Homo-oligomer: A and B are copies of this chain.
């Protein structure tokens, strides 16, 4: 999660909301993919940190199934990212700050725990949450200022 926070900070260099993500092998910690929010940088509405990291990890593995992997992300996943977690069958998910406006793994709904979908994972939130929240607050404060 510390690496994900570094990636989040880097996103602010191109005016993107600071969110970072890392996908690693759950058993060994080997990093397979990293991502940071590049929506503004790339004009890509799907370039959330989680999607970028998941795509890179799947490419590194040569397999779209990430059952043996953990995703660490600095902000609670949105609906798109929660759906990507289900589609990629990510084995474990940890996130830092909750997102009361768009978070779909605890705040607005619990998409990744829906018993009707063909993969389920219960994310663990709150890891280094205050560091992530403070980074987000500073970003929006600077943008308003």
**Residues of A participating in the B interface, judged by any CB pair closer than 8 Å:** 39-40, 42-46, 48, 51, 54-55, 58-59, 61-66, 78-84, 86-89, 101-102, 104, 108, 111, 114, 116-118
Q: Which of A59, A63, A83 has the most CB of B within 10 A?
A: A83
A58 to chain B, nearest CB (A): 5
CB of B46 within 8 A of CB of A46, answer yes
| B-side contacts of A88, CB under 8 Å | 45-46
CB of A114 within 8 A of CB of B118, answer no
| B-side contacts of A83, CB under 8 Å | 78-83, 104
Closest to A90 in B: B45
CB of A87 within 8 A of CB of B55, answer no
| B-side contacts of A104, CB under 8 Å | 83
CB of B55 within 8 A of CB of A46, answer yes
Kindly identify which residue among B43, B63, B101, B117 contacts A63, using a CB–CB cutoff of 8 Å. B43
Kindly identify which residue among B43, B108, B114 contacts A61, using a CB–CB cutoff of 8 Å. B43
Q: Which of A43, A63, A108 has the most CB of B within 10 A?
A: A43
Tell me whether A43 and B66 are in contact in the complex, defined as CB-CB below 8 angstroms, given that A83-B81, A108-B114 are known contacts.
no
| B-side contacts of A58, CB under 8 Å | 43-45
